[in-house]
Every structure is written in C-alpha cells, then in structure tokens.
Amino acid sequence: MKQRVFSGARPTGRQHIGNYIGAIENYVKLQEKYNCVYCIVDIHALTTLESTSELQQNIFEMTLDWLAAGIDPKKSIVFVQSHVPEVTELFTFLGMVTPLGWLLRVPTFKEKARMQPQNVNYGLVGYPVLMAADIMLYKTDLVPVGEDQLPHLEMTREIVRRFNFLFGDTFPEPKAKLTNYPMVLGLNGAQKMGKSYNNHIELAATPAETLEKIKTAVTDPARQRRNDKGHPDVCNIFSLHKFFNVDRVQEIEVECKAAGIGCVDCKKLLADGINRALHGFRERRIALAKDPDHIYDILSDGAGRAQAIAKETIMEVKTKMGLIRHA
Ligand code: SF4
C-alpha cells in the first residue's frame, strides 16, 4: 500500500513561478511514489476574503495550472474542498475535542486578527481545526510542508492524538514530508513572491509579458553602471537563473562578477530561460482552457473519489463518538 499524501492550497487563481518552485513541482514528483490528494481549499479562503466574486474563476485558473504543470488526475485526486461537505462535519466534531486555548495561541491567528481587525471571525480562530479536518478526513500519512509550516502540522498531530486518546485509535499521526525549497523572492527583491505584492511572474504569462515583468526586477543594488562589477549572491535575478538556466548559471556568475554581462542582457537571458522552461506548460494550458467542461469533470471525479474515503471516515468517527446507535 502506498502512503497517502494530502496537500491543500487556497484558490489564488493563476499561479506564479514562486508557487511552481515552492509547491507544484513537488506535487508532480510526489504522485509517482504516493497516493496524493490535492485539494483547492475554498472554505479556508472564506476566512479572509472580502469578496467571493472571483472565487469560481480562481478555482478554474488554478486547476488549469495544476493540470498543465503535470498533476495527473488519473494518479492523484484533485478536487475542491467544499465539494466534499464531510470536511465541515469532521471540522465540527474535531472542534469538540480541541481546547480553545490551543487555537488562541496560534501565531497566525494573532497575525490575521491584527491584519483584519474588522473581521476577526470564528472561522479564523478555527482555521487549524479545519486544516486538521482536511488532513484527517483522508487518513493522511504525509503532508508536504516547509520548515516554517511545521508548527501548523503539529497542531493537527495534537488533535489526532487527543481524538485517538478519547475515542480509540482512529487516525494516523500525519508526518511532515519536508520540502526544503528556498523561498522565491519577488521581483522587487523585498518580499516572498506573491500576487498581493504584484512582484510575481504568472506561469501562464506570454513570453513578452514575462520579459516585461523581468525588466522591472531589482538587481544588485551596488551595480549602478554597466561597468560596475556585480554581486550575484545578492541579486534576485541570479537566484532565478539557478532554476531556469541551470546549465549557464556558473558562466553568468563569472560574467556578472567581471562586469562581462550587463543587467539588461542578463534579464533577457532569464526571460529566455523561463519562457523555454514553461513553453510546454503554456501550450498544455491553452489546450486545456479550450474545454472547461473537461476541467469541471476532473474536479467532479476527484470530489467523488475523495468523498468515498471521507464517508468511511465520518462513519467511523460518528460510531466512535457515540453518535450512531449500535444495533
Ligand atoms: Fe544580477 Fe545579472 Fe545584473 Fe549580475 S548581471 S547583478 S546577476 S542581473
């Protein structure tokens, strides 16, 4: 039996190269070795969204990106969180075994409450319980996470331990599948690449759009003129060359340090590398986008397969919690 991997991502619409390097590429690899469940967590998104008007389009765009990148719905279960309503049932049950004190101490709750003081909703404080429900509903063995997300997974593991202690052995304790990808800096060189900072390059961007975006990127701040020698180790463009121009990265480093290449040409090289690497992805995405029904069929099929697992789990949970009358 292969182990089961679960990962959820918020429906943020078109994905960018930071999403690809930090998560999607890994999703594609994992499905060769594990039974993977990949979920677009739309209910989670409601905790911070001011408007839901773009939610459906964002789900569609994100699914296109996942599929075009190589997530294979024949190998993995790909679905939308709210299409399997059992997750909200488990969320309610787990809420009864999770002490409020645990949730109020979570740093991300405090941070989000600070960021949206006008909307400190119940879902925000219950976020880790819903996350635990996502993971536990599918009896997950492994969760791909970066080091910084380990405390979130630990909360799920605590809820698992508490549930198993109170009602008997029911859930495996999910383990972290550490993915130590370096953080991808945004083009402004100041924050992690993200749509909210508009410092990103969409995977689906055209080659011309990619070049235009890269032209705006911050480079080595000490390199003011073409003849100044550069410091590639502090240049974000150089860090992206490591992903998209692997075979030329040493040469670029040497040339930058010797002022043999200017930043304008270096950026063009990066744009070429990204456009080359994403050419197949972009062709597949265009083809997939022509048939939206096919995309919705994939999500519907994924929800059906996920629900089959979820129903079994809910039946077991309700039985153990005494909610079902024994014959
Ligand atoms: Fe960065 Fe390239 Fe300019 Fe060097 S030449 S500072 S690596 S953009």
139 and 254 housed in the same domain: no
159 and 267 housed in the same domain: no
Q: Does 326 fall in a domain?
A: no
Report d(CA 289, CA 171) in Å as an integer: 38
Q: Does 206 fall in a domain?
A: yes
Strand runs labelled E in the chain: 4-9, 35-40, 77-80, 142-145, 175-178
- Residues 6+ away with beta carbon under 8 Å from 305: 77, 79
pLDDT (tens digit, 9 = 90+) per residue, 257-307? 999 999 999 999 999 999 999 999 999 999 999 999 999 999 999 999 999
Residue 162 class from Cβ within 10 Å (0-12 exposed, 13-18 middle, 19+ buried)?
middle
Domain that holds residue 106: 4-184+291-320
253 and 295 housed in the same domain: no
pLDDT (tens digit, 9 = 90+) per residue, 111-147? 888 888 888 889 999 999 999 999 999 999 999 998 8
Domain count, the chain: 2
Atom of ligand 1 nearest to the CA of 257: 4
Q: Does 271 fall in a domain?
A: yes
Amino acid letter, residue 231: H
177 and 301 housed in the same domain: yes
Q: What pLDDT, on a 0 to 100 scale, did the predictor assign at position 327?
A: 58
Residue nearest to ligand 1 atom 4, measured at CA: 256
- Of 29, 139, 195, 242, which residue is the catalytic one? 195
pLDDT (tens digit, 9 = 90+) per residue, 140-195? 999 999 888 888 899 999 999 999 999 999 999 999 998 877 678 899 988 889 98
Report residue 51's pLDDT band, with 50, 70 and 90 as the boundaries: confident
Q: 237 CA to middle of ligand 1, Å?
A: 6
- Residues 6+ away with beta carbon under 8 Å from 327: none
100 and 159 housed in the same domain: yes
Q: What is the pTM of this model?
A: 0.93
User: What Cα–Cα distance (Å) separates residue 183 from each residue in 9, 76, 115, 186?
Assistant: 17, 26, 22, 9
Active site residue 195: yes
Amino acid letter, residue 295: I
Report d(CA 274, CA 293) in Å as an integer: 30
Q: What pLDDT, on a 0 to 100 scale, did the predictor assign at position 191?
A: 87
207-219: average pLDDT: 96
